[in-house]
Structure 1
Amino acid sequence: MAHWLVKSEPFKWSWDQQVAAGTQGTFWNGVRNHSAKLNLIAMKVGEEAFFYHSNEGKEIVGIVEIIKPYYPDPSDASGKFGMVDLRAKTALKNPVTLAAVKADPRLKDMALVKLSRLSVQPVTEEEWAIVCALGGL
């Protein structure tokens, strides 16, 4: 199974709001980048993603699970973009900051470092294990 990272600005949608959505989860909409769209399309039910607070905090704070595969995003008037549904799974015991990711030479090729503006990113198995360890899981 693949792993992912999804970004959200906490003032728009935070980890706490994701947790409050409960087991029913919520949709992950608003993606308007074609590379991010392709990543959403590739997501499978049961796969996991890191939840990253962008702009404020700049840290990986939790893990979400994909609970519904890609479907049309009704907020997109063009009809070109879609979304998936996610539910909170677990918080990281220690949030992993962007600075910590950049400081770890094992993560130098992580999309979070190389493709910093991409809102939905793949995460390799090795990167997943390293970040989980850094996060206290």
Structure 2
Amino acid sequence: MGYWLFKTEPDTFGIEDLKHRPQQTEPWDGVRNYQARNFLRDSVALNDKVFIYHSSCKEVGIAGVAKVSRAGYPDETQFNPESAYYDPKASRDNPRWYRVDVTFEQQFARVLPLSTIKATPAIHEIGLVKKGHRLSVMPVSAEEWQILMNMAQGKQ
């Protein structure tokens, strides 16, 4: 099983939105960074665990957990001229952008703040705490996942 962190802006789409969707499932679309796209297309797999991370908001940090309920497939928004994510260079024969479906698992009682994550010595390899890493999709090691889960659940 793989572990990931997906960034989102909660006023656009956050853990609460996912929690209240039918079947608590939603496509994770609109990713327009090639490295993040490659993760969605090639690495994120069915049943992988995902931290939902809220950015560009008052409480920046990890808000909850989802699991991947459908592995990478072409992001339909790239083909829709009405979409903000439309890409005229994309075609159905040669899609440029991919998405996965995620299903809600858990919302934390409170957001695990970025400042707390950065102050945790055992969390030093995750892209989230490295300068210049702004990916919306990033891998998390199994060890980091467990540490962050314990912190979010008040066990550390």
Give the structure-1-normalised TM-score.
0.94
SS across alignment from 2:147? helix
Moved over 6 A (4+): none
Provide the identity percentage.
31
The equivalences for 1:34-113 within 5 A come to: 34-41=34-41, 42-56=43-57, 57-76=59-78, 77=87, 78=90, 79-113=95-129
Distance in 2 separating the partners of 1:94 and 1:136: 9
* Structure 1 stretches lacking a partner, 5+ long: none
Aligned residue number for residue 83 of structure 2: none
Contact 1:50–1:64 (8 Å) recurs in 2: yes
Query: How well do the aligned residues superpose, as a CA RMSD in angstroms?
Result: 1.4
SS across alignment from 2:4? strand
Deviation at 1:67, TM superposition (A): 0.4
Distance in 2 separating the partners of 1:94 and 1:81: 33
Contact 1:46–1:66 (8 Å) recurs in 2: yes
Q: Per residue, is there more strand in 1 or in 2?
A: 1
How many residues are aligned here? 137
Give the structure-2-normalised TM-score.
0.83
